[in-house]
């Protein structure tokens, strides 16, 4: 093996190979699963200021074993074909793990969003969407984008509007061409927080495993665990917020582009998010100290390290410094495959991206289903359940001779709203998938880490689809 650092795609492929040997699947089949099925590389001009700029962009559909394909669109100056291919492949395995019936895809536009005005970003997004429409690389039954690093619901609304301008008149399900949309534009409540919330559910489930915690010298349960977060974007901020508020986790350090801050007694995440929103930086947050070297987030002793930014953050050159007991991959591909070897040797447990950050695509799936059904979740049954619960309370009151206050009754009887159902579906998915991976790890003695167990779980499902579909002659 050369000493050259593996590319992101090579790193994913190596992890794949490491797992494939445990599946017993024929080589031809694993080769087919591994390959990217379609790669669309494009260049298009966009009017910027008084001139034009040629924009480089991609959409990769990794696997067509299920339709549509699904995956976010990233806006970043680091976008390249290798990165988008790696991310598309991860989407295939991610969807399989959480039983979301899509193939994997990913898009990337090589722009730094901070360097453009909103009007310029809108032109770039709309033009990119037109390129996808032209090549039939977008549509509710074809390929469904979503937000990723550097994009959010604003961009998804532009994609929807552009798609509907061209196709809306003839396609009744056109709203399902993209997910992560604003709620008033056919989005779903609970999508924005979904990846971070899924990260919390996944970590909570893992920390509830008594034997696993014992091996690490930790007490069971997520409550009181210390956490370091790298990246306070959408995923990192919601993962931190929910871990603190619902799990009782103590977040002792946060790293961002501007620097790293720390407080051993815990940083209050809602206040920190508000502080960054008003000042544009995490530095100077009350009761925090700023690390001299911002890169030292990696060296902080903690129970859980949460890389929630970009890929390849923990590499061969810095993996030795990690002092965390658990790494939760909230980002996609934050650990390179050679760094992983070092971390596993040190006894650090890695909860892999393809499972841990799958909450986003899970709720995207719910949004897509909502779009196809043209109705909000809960609309049909909320009142019915509420009335039934009220009847039940009245019966109990009659039988016991005791009464509840009107407020208590309303609270107990309340029927589920859309956001309640989304959270419940997400929790069920993350818990269920955790045990699928955990069972693979426990039953297969030769598998010793969660990533390989997750890969094997995913590969068997994708392989099963290919085998039952057969190969079109």
> Which positions lie near ligand GLU, rule CB under 6 A?
70-72, 146, 148, 179, 332, 357, 360-361, 364
Using an 8 Å Cβ cutoff, are 104 and 95 in contact? yes
Q: How far is the CB of 302 from ligand GLU (least distance, A)?
A: 25
202: nearest Cα among 358, 314, 425, 344: 358
Q: How far is the CB of 330 from ligand GLU (least distance, A)?
A: 10
Question: Of 227 and 358, which has the nearer Cβ to ligand GLU?
Answer: 358
d(CA 11, CA 13): 5
358: nearest Cα among 328, 381, 379, 384: 328
Catalytic residue check, 106: yes
Question: Of 259 and 360, which has the nearer Cβ to ligand GLU?
Answer: 360
Q: How far is the CB of 182 from ligand GLU (least distance, A)?
A: 15
Buried b (16+ CB within 10 A) or exposed e, 120-138: bbbbbbbbbbebbbeeebb
Q: Where are the alpha helices (DSSP H) in 70-152?
A: 81-97, 118-134
Catalytic residue among 18, 70, 94, 106: 106
d(CA 364, CA 361): 5
Q: How far is the CB of 81 from ligand GLU (least distance, A)?
A: 17
Question: Of 20 and 361, which has the nearer Cβ to ligand GLU?
Answer: 361
Using an 8 Å Cβ cutoff, are 462 and 33 in contact? yes
Which residue number is nearest to ligand GLU in terms of Cβ?
A: 72
**CA dihedral over 17, 20, 26, 32, signed as positive or negative:** negative
Using an 8 Å Cβ cutoff, are 100 and 365 in contact? yes
Give every CB contact of residue 413 below 8 A, 6+ residues apart in sequence: 386, 389, 390, 393
Question: Of 235 and 342, which has the nearer Cβ to ligand GLU?
Answer: 235
Q: How far is the CB of 191 from ligand GLU (least distance, A)?
A: 8
Question: Which residue numbers are catalytic?
Answer: 106
């Amino acid at each position: 093996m050369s000493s050259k650092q593996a590319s992101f795609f090579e790193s994913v492929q190596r992890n794949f190979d490491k797992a494939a040997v445990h599946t017993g699947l024929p080589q031809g089949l694993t080769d087919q699963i591994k390959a990217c099925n379609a790669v669309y590389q494009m260049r298009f001009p966009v009017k910027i200021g008084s001139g034009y700029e040629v924009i480089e962009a991609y959409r990769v559909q990794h696997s067509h074993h299920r339709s549509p394909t699904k995956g976010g669109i990233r806006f970043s100056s680091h976008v390249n074909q290798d990165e988008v291919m790696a991310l598309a492949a991860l989407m295939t395995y991610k969807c399989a793990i959480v039983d979301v019936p899509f193939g994997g895809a990913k898009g990337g536009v090589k722009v730094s969003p901070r360097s453009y005005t909103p009007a310029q970003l809108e032109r770039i997004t709309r033009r990119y969407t037109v390129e996808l429409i032209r090549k039939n690389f977008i549509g509710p039954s074809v390929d469904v984008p979503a937000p990723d690093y550097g994009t959010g619901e604003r961009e998804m609304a532009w994609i929807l509007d552009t798609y509907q301008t061209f196709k809306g008149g003839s396609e009744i399900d056109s709203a399902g061409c993209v997910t992560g949309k604003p709620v008033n534009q056919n989005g779903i409540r609970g999508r924005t927080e979904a990846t971070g919330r899924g990260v919390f559910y996944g970590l909570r489930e893992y920390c509830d495993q008594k034997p696993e915690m014992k091996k690490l010298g930790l007490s069971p349960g997520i409550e009181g665990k210390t956490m370091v977060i790298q990246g306070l974007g959408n995923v990192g901020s919601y993962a931190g917020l929910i871990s603190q508020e619902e799990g009782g986790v103590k977040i002792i350090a946060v790293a961002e582009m501007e620097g790293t801050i720390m407080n051993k007694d815990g940083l209050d995440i809602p206040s920190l998010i508000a502080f960054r929103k008003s000042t544009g930086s995490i530095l100077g947050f009350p009761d925090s100290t700023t690390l001299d070297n911002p890169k030292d987030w990696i060296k902080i002793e903690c129970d859980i390290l949460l890389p929630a930014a970009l890929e390849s953050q923990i590499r061969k050159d810095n993996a030795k410094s990690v002092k965390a007991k658990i790494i939760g991959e909230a980002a996609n591909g934050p650990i390179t495959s050679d760094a992983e070897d070092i971390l596993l040797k040190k006894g650090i447990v890695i909860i892999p991206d393809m499972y841990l950050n799958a909450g986003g695509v899970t709720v995207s799936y719910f949004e897509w289903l909502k779009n196809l059904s043209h109705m909000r979740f809960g609309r049909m049954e909320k009142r019915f359940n509420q009335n039934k619960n009220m009847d039940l309370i009245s019966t109990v009151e009659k039988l016991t001779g005791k009464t509840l206050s009107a407020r208590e009754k309303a609270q107990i009887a309340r029927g589920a709203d859309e956001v309640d159902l989304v959270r419940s579906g997400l929790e069920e998915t993350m818990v269920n998938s955790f045990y699928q991976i955990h069972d693979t790890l426990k039953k297969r003695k030769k598998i010793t880490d969660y990533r390989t167990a997750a890969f094997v779980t995913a590969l068997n499902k994708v392989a099963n689809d290919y085998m039952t579909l057969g190969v079109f002659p």
